[in-house]
Amino acid sequence: MTSRLPPALSKLLPGKFSPRRFSPAQLIALTFGAAILVGTLLLWLPVSLEAGQRITLLQALFMATSAVCVTGLAVVNPGTTFSGFGEGVLLLLIQFGGLGLVTVGTMTALLLRRRVGVRSRLNAAQQVNTPFLGDAPRLVRTVVLSALLIELVGAALLAPDFIAREGLGQGLYYALFHSVSAFNNAGFSLYATGLTGLVGDPLINVFIPLLIILGGTGFLVQVNVLEWLQDRRNKLTTNTRISLTMMAFLLLTAPLLFGAMEWNNPATLGGLPLGEKLMAAWFQGVTPRTAGFNTLDYSQMTFAALFYTMLLMLIGGNSGSTAGGIKTNTIFVMALSAVALILGRKNAVVFGRQLGTDTILRAMSVGLLSLILLALGILLLLVFNKPDGAGGLLFIQLVFEAVSAFATVGLSMNATPLLNPAQDIIIIALMFLGRIGPLTLAVAFMQRELPPPVRYPETNDVLIG
């Protein structure tokens, strides 16, 4: 995949703006930004809208950002606002955003049998979070083909349910749309009330969470597990073991804790039969990491369940997946490092391996930067909030909305359409920052050529805690 520009355009741009000079982090940010811009313009076209529907440019920008960042927050109802063409654009934006534009671009080059250079390999490696430069093209090919296969299988499994409800043609289309949306952890639905009317539907409650889990597992983890299953001489990496451990822990505990908090709430689980209670608790335990689908109304939940949901949204899925959040691997490293410090151990050890200093520093940096950006976003949402009695939103609604946007989840307490234009812009920024990652953003704007490292005397006289 070449990064050359047409000669006429190259003459107009200064050398420092040449794509050849972009770092992988910068290229990721730029490609996501370009996709959002193109998506905004396409969604704003009259052909993308149903007859009689109109949206503002800001609404189109919001929807495009939410799709590319696979968030799922919506200021308009996709199913009734957009035409078939507009829904197709939305679906493509979700697919590109989930797999990563650089990944898709590299895959295109591979399919065209064009030479993939070192820079393209670096971009692909960073996009799919692999440190192995030589494996990037093979990994990208596996990632894209596997994702498409999973989405098609998911659509086939969901098809009987949607066909029974919508008819053959419309049912197949709805099955494909919701399968792609679930696997890419986007959370967009073509139903006006999302999936809240399907709380007792067995197929929805089994296959939608399964697609969410597969999308949030992480491509490197999936490849490593498959290689291990094929030949036990291939070892599971430390990253895979951490990812699977965190996934198992959260999938076991989250539905149980959510069910306990909402079991007697008449507005959510309390009024459901036992079977539907269990399915709803399972669904709401899975979806905050980080899909955005919901079969219960979050505006009717207890504060305890809402707070726990926000914690799950912040944790998110595994690194290198379609999910958002701080990521399970990052949380694990932060927690393990803290435990090692508390126990007086000099090193954090997991599965017989010592965590490197760089890994710990990256984890702490991601966690701290994420909390800073999220806190700033919440503050700005409150600053631009209308006063009580003048259409302003509640504090809990704004905090929930901000966490959902930054973690690219898409859950809402029905507050998204009520945001004012200034708050829309803040949520757009949070979705973009959350998708590309705070550390990627910081690296993208770092000075590219750092001075030679200088070793200074070590100091331990700074008080911590």
pLDDT value at residue 322: 82
pLDDT along the chain (465 residues), means of 10: 44 47 71 93 96 94 96 93 95 90 58 55 56 62 86 96 94 96 93 89 95 88 86 86 94 96 95 94 92 92 96 90 88 94 88 88 90 96 84 91 95 93 96 84 58 70 69
pLDDT value at residue 401: 97
What number of H helices and E strands is found in the chain? 19, 2
pLDDT value at residue 2: 41
pLDDT value at residue 1: 39
pLDDT value at residue 391: 72
**C-alpha distances in Å from residue 439, one per residue of 187, 310, 330, 451:** 25, 21, 12, 21
pLDDT value at residue 346: 83
pLDDT value at residue 226: 85
> What predicted TM-score, i.e. pTM, was given to this entire model?
0.87
pLDDT value at residue 118: 56
Alpha helices for 17-166 (secondary structure H): 24-44, 57-68, 78-81, 84-99, 101-111, 118-127, 136-166
pLDDT value at residue 254: 96
Nearest to 122 by CA among 23, 220, 18: 23
Cis peptide bond prior to 290, omega within 30° of 0: yes
Residue 432, burial from CB neighbour count under 10 angstroms (0-12, 13-18, 19+): buried
